[in-house]
């Protein structure tokens, strides 16, 4: 049977949520009343918050204006780990409709919960994000975020359904099958991590399929850092519009912020549900002004099962004024996470910086890994960038490209490194969140 779809509405004629169009003043008034409610609610219902507030000598009644939030203590991933599994929940278990958890590769998993209302709010915000990125009711959406305890799959799924899309819940992996279904089901939009979309495009080329020839028109990408250069790469190879979606489990999941397709200038944080701050990562007592780079911190404004107060995300970025949704501030691209930062002989370095530089060199592909080693008997760490050449470029053709990459890294990042150009297809491909850093230094 052929599924006859009516033509989805054009990208411009979307009906927005009222909260997307309100003034900044109205939004801040809403934030204040929701914030006052949330801190009191968290204090009354979660022993950890009561303890932390009491220790810091603050009380929910001290929150009289938005700036007062700075007096309240931070919450960290460590707090969630210590309260494992359900110590952060503010409602009895029978009111928790769903649980998600982080993979917990380092230490205990962090567990998060949602009431029915939380799930409805989450779906609404993902729907809002997808709509901002060009997805419309009636479109077919191929969802390649992983399903399971990870918030990506089910979070994106519920949002696409709430928007009125036809969802194809393929999850991550089984790339050959993904390609068959894209060919056969002809989706309009794809939801995936940027590096997994790259894997799909790459596998299509191997099969002799031109990735620009598919039905796909929109991609909504997130769950890992990516650059403007990667956007350009994916948009040109796949003939799509690619937008960012940001989020984290502890704060909700995907859809904390989403990017508008008409401006493509960073994700708008949905400030009717989250109050963002940027702090100095090294001196957290300093709350930074808009435009200043630091660590992103979130306070939830409407969550019931797991209210979160001043959560330190470790994500490094800055707040920018709203554009397509003027009242909602944007976040700059995430440069990296403070715990993903490589410190090489005193120089700070993030994989996204390498991505940015490498993708400007036409002979080099977006497939790269960073290897950190400390050769025997040496005290200095070594960085090796392993990067695949483009299929179209010969082995002889890449020698100068390697040199250029090495020089550009030295100029723009300040680190000396070795560049090792490897054969196309020889580096591990992404299935979701890609691991870029391989730390092979001897453990202290
Ligand atoms: O990755 C939620 C998500 C799923 C977002 C699907 C977007 C799409 P976690 O597994 O808890 O949740 O990981 C959260 O991933 O703190 C960032 O470091 C990173 N991250 C998420 N979105 C972006 C993005 C999901 N758009 C952590 N750009 C966050 C850069 C991102 N980093």
Return the best residue to mutate from 129, 247, 266, 352 for the ligand 1 pocket (most ligand atoms within 8 A of CB). 247
Distance 152 CA to ligand 1 centre (A): 8
Distance 394 CA to ligand 1 centre (A): 36
What is the number of the ligand 1 atom nearest to the C-alpha of 150? 10
Distance 249 CA to ligand 1 centre (A): 8
Q: Above 80 in pLDDT, residue 419?
A: yes
Residue nearest to atom 29 of ligand 1 (CA): 248
The DSSP element (H or E) to which 391 belongs, if any, is none
Per DSSP, the three-state class of 21 is helix
The whole-number pLDDT of residue 105 equals 60
- DSSP per residue over 82-149, as a string? HTTTTTT--S-GGG--EEEE---SSSSPPEEEE-HHHHHHHHHHHHHHHHHTT--TT-EEEE-SPPSS
The DSSP symbol for 211 reads G
Residue nearest to atom 4 of ligand 1 (CA): 152
| Residue 259 burial (C-beta neighbours within 10 Å; 0-12, 13-18, 19+) | buried
Q: Above 60 in pLDDT, residue 7?
A: no
What are 33-91's pLDDT values in tens digits? Answer: 999 999 999 999 999 999 999 999 999 999 999 999 999 999 999 999 999 999 999 99
- Kindly state the tokens that stand for 65: 């204006």
Distance 193 CA to ligand 1 centre (A): 9
What distances in angstroms separate CA 64 from CA 31, 71, 179, 308, one per listed residue? 12, 11, 54, 19
List residues near ligand 1 (CB under 6 A): 102, 145, 150-152, 222-225, 244-249, 253-254, 313, 315, 334, 337
CA distance 401 to 397: 8
pTM of the model: 0.96
CA 387 vs. chain centroid, Å, equals: 24
What are 184-228's pLDDT values in tens digits? Answer: 999 999 999 999 999 999 999 999 999 999 999 999 999 999 999
The DSSP symbol for 233 reads H
Strands 166-168 and 140-143: parallel
Return the best residue to mutate from 191, 223, 312 for the ligand 1 pocket (most ligand atoms within 8 A of CB). 223
Q: Above 60 in pLDDT, residue 11?
A: no
Distance 407 CA to ligand 1 centre (A): 31
Distance 222 CA to ligand 1 centre (A): 6
The DSSP symbol for 185 reads H
Cis peptide before 85 (omega within 30 of 0): yes
Distance 3 CA to ligand 1 centre (A): 33
Q: Above 80 in pLDDT, residue 103?
A: no
What is the number of the ligand 1 atom nearest to the C-alpha of 103? 10
């Amino acid at each position: 049977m052929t599924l006859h779809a009516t033509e989805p509405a054009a990208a411009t004629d979307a009906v927005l949520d009222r909260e997307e169009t309100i003034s900044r003043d109205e939004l801040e008034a809403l934030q204040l009343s929701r914030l006052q409610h949330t801190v009191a609610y968290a204090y009354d219902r979660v022993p950890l918050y009561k303890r932390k507030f009491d220790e810091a000598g603050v009380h929910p009644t001290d929150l009289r204006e938005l700036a007062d939030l700075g007096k309240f203590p931070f919450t960290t991933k460590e707090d969630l780990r210590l309260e494992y599994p359900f110590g952060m929940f503010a409602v009895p278990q029978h009111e928790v409709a769903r649980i998600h958890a982080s993979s917990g590769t380092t230490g205990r998993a962090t567990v998060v919960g949602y009431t029915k209302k939380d799930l409805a709010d989450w779906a609404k915000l993902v729907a809002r994000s997808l709509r901002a990125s060009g997805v419309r009711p009636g479109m077919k959406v191929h969802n390649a975020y992983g399903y399971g305890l990870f918030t990506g799959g089910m979070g994106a799924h519920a949002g696409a359904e709430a928007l009125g899309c036809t969802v194809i819940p393929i999850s991550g992996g089984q790339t050959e099958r993904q390609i068959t279904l894209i060919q056969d089901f002809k989706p309009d939009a794809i939801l995936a991590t940027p590096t997994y979309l790259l894997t799909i495009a790459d596998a299509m080329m191997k099969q002799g399929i031109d990735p620009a020839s598919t039905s796909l028109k929109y991609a909504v990408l997130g769950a890992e850092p990516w650059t403007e250069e990667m956007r350009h790469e994916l948009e040109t190879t796949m003939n799509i519009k690619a937008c960012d979606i940001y989020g984290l489990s502890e704060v909700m999941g995907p859809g904390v912020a989403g990017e508008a397709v008409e401006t493509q200038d960073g994700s708008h944080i949905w400030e009717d549900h989250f109050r963002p701050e940027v702090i100095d990562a090294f001196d957290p007592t300093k709350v930074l002004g808009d435009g200043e780079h630091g660590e992103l911190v979130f306070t939830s404004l409407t969550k019931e099962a797991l209210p979160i107060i001043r959560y330190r995300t470790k994500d490094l970025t800055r707040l920018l004024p709203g554009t397509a949704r003027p009242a909602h501030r944007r976040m700059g691209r995430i440069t990296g996470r403070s715990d993903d930062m490589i410190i090489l002989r005193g120089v700070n370095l993030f994989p996204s910086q390498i991505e940015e530089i490498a993708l400007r060199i036409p002979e080099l592909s977006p497939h790269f890994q960073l290897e950190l080693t400390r050769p025997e008997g040496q005290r200095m760490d070594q960085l090796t960038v392993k990067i695949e050449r483009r299929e179209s470029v010969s082995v002889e053709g890449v020698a100068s490209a390697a040199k250029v990459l090495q020089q550009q890294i030295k100029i723009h990042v300040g680190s000396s490194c070795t560049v090792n150009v490897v054969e196309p297809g020889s580096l591990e491909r992404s299935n979701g969140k890609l691991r870029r850093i391989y730390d092979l230094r001897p453990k202290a």
